[in-house]
Amino acid sequence: MRKISTSGILSFALGALAAGAMAFGAAAAPPKGAPKALKVAFVDFFSGGAAVFGVSGKGTSEWVVAKWNKEGGIGGVPIDLVLVDEGGGPKKQVSELRRLVLDEKVDAVVGYTSSGNCLAIAPVAEELKVLTVVHVCGTHRLTEDNKLKYVFRTASNQAADSVSLARYVLSVKPDLKTIAGANEDYAWGRDSWEAFKIAIQRLKPDVKVVAELWTKFQAGEYSAEISRLLAARPDAIHSSFWGGGLITFIKQAGPRGLFDQSLVALSTGEQVLQNVGKSMPDGVIAAPRATAGFFALEGAPGHKAFVEAIYKHNKRYPDYPAYRTYQAWAGLKGAYEKAIADAGRWPTTEEVIKAFEGLSWETPSGTVAMRSDHQAVHGGLVGVTKFSKEHGFAILENIVHHKAEDINPPLGTKTLDWVRAIK
Amino acid sequence: MNLLTIIFFDAINYAATLFLLSVGLTVVFGVMRILNVSHGGIYALGAYMGTWLALWVLEVDLPPVLTYLMLLLGALIVGFLLGPIIERLLLRRIYGSDMHIQLLLTFSILLILDDGMKLIWGMEPLFISEPYSMLGRFKVGGIIYPWYDFVLVGVAVVFGAALVWMVRATRFGKLVIAVIADREVSQAIGINVNLIFTVAFTVGALAAALGGAFVAPKIAVVPQFALEVVVLAFAVIAIGGMGSIEGAAIGAIVVSFARALAIHLAPEVELMAVYLIMILVLVVRPQGLFGEVELRRI
C-alpha cells in the first residue's frame, strides 16, 4: 500500500480549499460596508388576468436569484428576494411600495408590469428614494413625463412594439387601406394604439381608421367588440390586449373568423402562444416586445442555456416577461458591480444610480444599453404565427430583426414626435 | 337594420352570461337578505371545476361531446357541495347580524376560495376551447356567431324559467315567499326556515357555478377573474331590483343592450354606459325596476 505523505495531504487540502473558494464565489469577500443581504422586492401580478405574466416573472426571478446567490450574490452579498403581488390597482401599489420601503426596508424594487401601476409608483419611488427597476411596463410616459433619478426601465417602451408592428404590417400588406384598433382603456392601450396609428399613417398616409375600440382592463368579454370589428372589415387590426384578456380575445375571435377576415397584429402576442395552443391561427403578426424569443436561438451567447434553464425551472419556455425580468435583474446586478468597483466599497444608492446610467450589459436577447434618461434601448424581432407540431403551439416564423436605433426614439426626442417623423 | 340585428344578437348573447352571474346573487339576497360577496368566488370555482373535468375528458381521449356534460357536472358538484357547506357552517352563524358582518364574512369566503383555487390549479390559465367551437357557427347580417353562444342563452332561459316556476308554482315556492314576507311568523307557523335558507343559498351557488362553468370555454380561466365580473352583477341587480328574478333578467338585458349600443355607436363611452344607466335607474326608482319598497317594521 502506498503511503500518503503529510505534505501530500496538505497540498490536497489547500487545493480543495482553493477549488471550493472558486466555486462559492470566486467571489471575494464582500466589500467594506456591505450589508448581510441585499433585500430586493419583485413586484408582478400573481392574481387576476395578468397573472400569466407573474408566473414567468416570479419563476425567472427565483431562478436567477438562486443561481447568483450560489455564485456569490452581488459583490459577495446574497440577494434576499421578497415577492409582492401587483394586483389591486395603482392605489394599492403605491401603499405597497411605501410598506416595502418603510416597513420591510428593501434596498431596491424590481418589477411593475402594468403601465397604470408604473406611472403611479414612479413619483412615490422618487420621493422614497428607492432604487426601482421597471421590467415590463410599456408606456413611454414613464420616462418622458417624469424627471427620474431613482427609477430605471430596463426594456424598450411601447413605441418599439408599435413601430415594429406598423412596419411589419405594411411589409405583409403593402396595399393596406383601412385599420382598426381594439385596446384597453388605460395608459398602455391608449399609448400603444396612438403610436401604431401615427406610424402606419406616417408610412402610408392614405390609410384610414375605421374603428377604435376601448375595453376595460383585462375584460372577460369581447363578443360585441368582435362583431364591431367584423362589421367594420378593416384590412388590419392592432391590439395590445395582454395576459388573460388576450387569451379570451383569441378564444372568442378565432371561431368567429376575425383572423381570417383581417390581418391581426398583436403587440404582446408572443406571450400567450404557449397558453392558447392550437387556438392561435397561423398568420397573426406577433412580437415578443423587442426581446429575442426562445424560438430564435441565434441571439447572444448563452441564449440556449438560458432557454433550457428557464424551461426546466418554470416548466414553460421563457416568454417575453421572462426575458424582460432577466434584463432587469442583470441590469441591477451590473450597476451594483460597477458601483462597487468604482467606489472600492459597498456603494450608496446614489453611486449605484451613477453606475447604472450609461451601463451596457449582456442578456440572452443581446446587449441592453441604459441611457441617461433612465430608458434602456435594445433591438427586437417581429414575426407571424405558425403552428409547430414539435412545440404543440404556434411559434413565430418569417422573423424580421430590428436594430435598437430603428425602433427606439433617440435620446432627447419625445416618443410620439419621433414616431411622427419615422421613414 | 343590419346594425340593429347585430346589436340585438350581441346584447342577447351577453345578457345570458350576466343573468346567470347575477340571478344567484339576487335569489340569495331576496330570501336571506345577505349580500353575498363570495358569489364571484363560486362562479370562478364553477369555471375551474367544469374546465378541469372537460380537459380530463380530452386528455383520456373520450368523445369531445362529453365536455358539455363535464361542464354541467362541474357546476353541479360546486353548487351542491359548496352551497350547503357555506350556508350551514358559516352563514348560519351571522343571520340577523349587521350588514358589515355579513360583508366581512362573505368577503373572507371569497378570499379563501380564491386562494384555494390558486393552490389547486396554480396561476397558469386553464384553457379549453373545444366546447366553444365544436358546435359550428352561423351568420347573421354578415357576422359570424358560434352556436355555443346560444347554448348559453338556452341555459340561462331554462334555468331562469325553472326558478320562476319553482317560486310561483310549487308548494316550496309558496313557503319561500312566506319566509321572504316574514321570517319570524313563518318560523312560528312551523315552516323550516333553516331548510329554506339552505336551499336558497344552494340555488344561488348553483346559478353562479353554472354561469362560471358554461362561460369558461370562451374565456381565460385565471385566478380572480370573477372579481371584475361580479361588480357588473351588482350593477345588474341594482338596476333590476334586488331580490327579483325577473329583475335580474331585465337588468341583464338592459346592461347588455347599453354595452352593445355603446360599442357599435360610441365606443368611447362603453365603460361608462352601464353605470350611467344604473345611476339613472336608481335616481328615478331607488329600489330598482322590479324591486319592492321594503316596509319598516316596528
Residue A149 φ then ψ, to 5°: -120, -45
| Nearest residue on chain A to B114, alpha-carbon basis | A47
Residues contacting B245, CB < 8 A, separation 6+:
B23, B26, B27, B30, B160, B163, B164, B167
With a cut of 90, say whether residue A309 has pLDDT above it. yes
Q: How many angstroms separate the CA atoms of A423 and A179, rounded?
A: 19
Shortest distance between the Cα of A147 and any Cα of chain B, in A, equals: 31
Q: Which of B18, B128, B224 to mutate to test the interface with A (most CBs of A within 10 A)?
A: B224
| DSSP conformational letter for B143 | E
ipTM score of complex = 0.88
SS3 of residue A134 by DSSP: strand
Q: How many angstroms separate the CA atoms of A314 and A58, rounded?
A: 9
**Range from A287-296, A305-314, B269-278 that averages highest in pLDDT:** A305-314
What would the mean pLDDT of A369-397 be, rounded to a whole number? 94
If we measure between CA atoms, which residue out of A66, A72, A76 comes closest to residue A29?
A: A76
- Contact residues, chain B, for A49 at CB < 8 Å: 220, 222, 225
- Contact residues, chain A, for B132 at CB < 8 Å: 251-252, 255
If we measure between CA atoms, which residue out of B90, B125, B110 comes closest to residue B38?
A: B110
The verdict on A46 touching B (C-beta cutoff 8 Å) is yes
With a cut of 80, say whether residue B5 has pLDDT above it. yes
- Contact residues, chain A, for B259 at CB < 8 Å: 224
CATH number at residue B60: 1.10.3470
User: Which phi-psi region, left, alpha or beta, contains residue A360 (left: φ > 0; alpha: ψ -120 to 50)?
Assistant: beta
Domain boundaries of chain A, sorted by first residue = 30-156+299-377, 159-288+379-420
Residue A20 CB neighbours (<10 A): 10
**For residue A124, what are the CA distances in angstroms to A91, A119, A328?**
11, 10, 20
If we measure between CA atoms, which residue out of A385, A394, A320 comes closest to residue A158?
A: A320
Shortest distance between the Cα of B191 and any Cα of chain A, in A, equals: 42
With a cut of 90, say whether residue B132 has pLDDT above it. yes
Q: Which of B9, B220, B229 sits opposite A247 (nearest CB)?
A: B220
If we measure between CA atoms, which residue out of A222, A230, A221, A168 comes closest to residue A199?
A: A168
* A30-156+299-377 placed in CATH 3.40.50.2300: yes
> pLDDT digits over A219-241, tens only?
888 999 999 999 999 999 999 99
Q: Which of A46, A220, A257 sits opposite B225 (nearest CB)?
A: A220
* Torsion of Cα atoms, B93 then B96 then B99 then B102, to 10°: 10
What would the mean pLDDT of A283-307 be, rounded to a whole number? 85
What would the mean pLDDT of B93-122 be, rounded to a whole number? 90
The verdict on A230 touching B (C-beta cutoff 8 Å) is yes
- The pLDDT of residue B58 is 94
Dihedral sign of CA atoms B151, B155, B158, B160 in order: negative
With a cut of 70, say whether residue B76 has pLDDT above it. yes
With a cut of 60, say whether residue A10 has pLDDT above it. no
CB contact under 8 A, A220 and B228: yes
Q: What are the helix and strand counts (H, E) for chain A?
A: 16, 15
Residue B264 CB neighbours (<10 A): 23
E strands, B90-175, are 137-140, 143-146
With a cut of 60, say whether residue A12 has pLDDT above it. no
| Nearest residue on chain A to B225, alpha-carbon basis | A48
What would the mean pLDDT of A393-410 be, rounded to a whole number? 91
| DSSP conformational letter for B88 | I
With a cut of 60, say whether residue A6 has pLDDT above it. no
Q: Which of A64-68, A227-231, A292-296, B192-196 has the lowest mean pLDDT?
A: A292-296
Shortest distance between the Cα of A48 and any Cα of chain B, in A, equals: 5
Cell 401587483 belongs to which residue?
A: A86
> pLDDT digits over A167-182, tens only?
999 999 999 999 999 9
Q: How many CA atoms lie within 13 A of B31 on its CB side?
A: 26
Q: What is the pTM of this model?
A: 0.86
Q: Which of A210, A218, A227 to mutate to test the interface with B (most CBs of B within 10 A)?
A: A227
Kindly give the pairing relationship between strand A178-184 and strand B137-140.
unpaired
At residue A47 the predicted structure's pLDDT band, cuts being 50, 70 and 90, is confident
In a domain, B290, yes or no: no
| Nearest residue on chain B to A277, alpha-carbon basis | B127
Dihedral sign of CA atoms A24, A29, A31, A32 in order: positive
Q: Are B72 and B217 a contacting pair, CB within 8 Å?
A: no
How many beta-carbon contacts under 8 Å exist across A and B? 139
- Percentage of residues in chain A with pLDDT exceeding 70? 93
Q: Are B250 and B2 a contacting pair, CB within 8 Å?
A: no
Shortest distance between the Cα of B7 and any Cα of chain A, in A, equals: 8
Domain total in chain B: 1
Q: Provide the residue type at A206 as one letter.
A: D
Shortest distance between the Cα of B113 and any Cα of chain A, in A, equals: 13
Q: Which of A211, A216, A316 sits opposite B228 (nearest CB)?
A: A216
Shortest distance between the Cα of B280 and any Cα of chain A, in A, equals: 22
DSSP state letters, A169-202: HHHH-TT--EEEEEEESSHHHHHHHHHHHHHHHH
- The pLDDT of residue B96 is 78
- The pLDDT of residue A196 is 96
- The pLDDT of residue B294 is 61
Q: How many CA atoms lie within 13 A of A311 on its CB side?
A: 12
- The pLDDT of residue B283 is 92
Q: How many angstroms separate the CA atoms of A104 and A99, rounded?
A: 6
Q: How far is CA A68 from the centre of its chain?
A: 20
CB contact under 8 A, B129 and A279: yes
Shortest distance between the Cα of B236 and any Cα of chain A, in A, equals: 16
CB contact under 8 A, B124 and A55: yes
CB contact under 8 A, A227 and B137: no
- The pLDDT of residue A220 is 80
Q: Are A132 and A150 a contacting pair, CB within 8 Å?
A: yes
Query: Partners of B10 in the beta sheet?
Result: none
Q: Which of A51, A217, A224 sits opposite B223 (nearest CB)?
A: A51
Shortest distance between the Cα of A216 and any Cα of chain B, in A, equals: 7
SS3 of residue B203 by DSSP: helix
Dihedral sign of CA atoms A350, A113, A404, A316 in order: positive
The verdict on A48 touching B (C-beta cutoff 8 Å) is yes
CB contact under 8 A, B225 and A224: no
Count Cβ atoms within 10 A of the Cβ of residue A284 and give its class: 0-12 exposed, 13-18 middle, 19 or more buried: buried
Asked if the domains at A30-156+299-377 and A159-288+379-420 fall in one CATH topology, the answer is yes
- Contact residues, chain A, for B145 at CB < 8 Å: 256
- Contact residues, chain A, for B59 at CB < 8 Å: none
The verdict on A267 touching B (C-beta cutoff 8 Å) is no
What would the mean pLDDT of A276-304 be, rounded to a whole number? 86
Count Cβ atoms within 10 A of the Cβ of residue A398 and give its class: 0-12 exposed, 13-18 middle, 19 or more buried: middle
Cell readout for B222 is: 385565471
CB contact under 8 A, B145 and A256: yes
CB contact under 8 A, A251 and B145: no
The CATH architecture of the domain made up of A159-288+379-420 is 3-Layer(aba) Sandwich (3.40)
Average pLDDT over chain B, rounded to an integer? 91
What would the mean pLDDT of A103-118 be, rounded to a whole number? 96
Q: How many angstroms separate the CA atoms of B79 and B45, rounded?
A: 9
Q: Which of A44, A45, A46, A47 to mutate to test the interface with B (most CBs of B within 10 A)?
A: A47
CB contact under 8 A, A224 and B259: yes
Residues contacting B53, CB < 8 A, separation 6+:
B70, B71, B73, B74
> pLDDT digits over B21-57, tens only?
899 999 999 899 898 999 999 999 999 999 999 999 9
What would the mean pLDDT of B90-109 be, rounded to a whole number? 90
In a domain, B207, yes or no: yes
- The pLDDT of residue B97 is 83
Top pLDDT among B118 and B84 is at: B84
Q: How many angstroms separate the CA atoms of B94 and A264, rounded?
A: 53
Q: Which of A49, A217, A225 sits opposite B263 (nearest CB)?
A: A225
If we measure between CA atoms, which residue out of A191, A198, A134, A140 comes closest to residue A329?
A: A134
CB contact under 8 A, B271 and A185: yes
Cell readout for A150 is: 431613482
> pLDDT digits over B217-276, tens only?
999 898 777 777 788 888 899 999 988 899 999 999 999 999 999 999 998 888 888 889
Q: Which of B12, B129, B232 to mutate to test the interface with A (most CBs of A within 10 A)?
A: B129
CB contact under 8 A, B123 and A52: yes
CB contact under 8 A, A231 and B142: yes
Q: Are A286 and A400 a contacting pair, CB within 8 Å?
A: no
| Nearest residue on chain B to A217, alpha-carbon basis | B228
Residue A282 φ then ψ, to 5°: -70, 155
Biggest CA–CA distance in chain B, Å, is 64
Gap between the terminal Cα atoms of chain B: 55
Shortest distance between the Cα of A8 and any Cα of chain B, in A, equals: 55
Shortest distance between the Cα of B155 and any Cα of chain A, in A, equals: 18
| Nearest residue on chain B to A225, alpha-carbon basis | B263
Shortest distance between the Cα of A169 and any Cα of chain B, in A, equals: 24
Q: Which of A251, A275, A316 sits opposite B219 (nearest CB)?
A: A251
Contacts 24+ apart (CB under 8 A), B201-204: B201/B28, B201/B32, B201/B36, B201/B83, B201/B84, B201/B86, B201/B87, B201/B91, B202/B79, B202/B80, B202/B83, B202/B84, B202/B87, B203/B24, B203/B27, B203/B83, B203/B163, B204/B24, B204/B25, B204/B27, B204/B28, B204/B36, B204/B39, B204/B83
In a domain, B293, yes or no: no
Q: Give me the domain span that covers residue B165.
A: 2-284
With a cut of 70, say whether residue B102 has pLDDT above it. yes
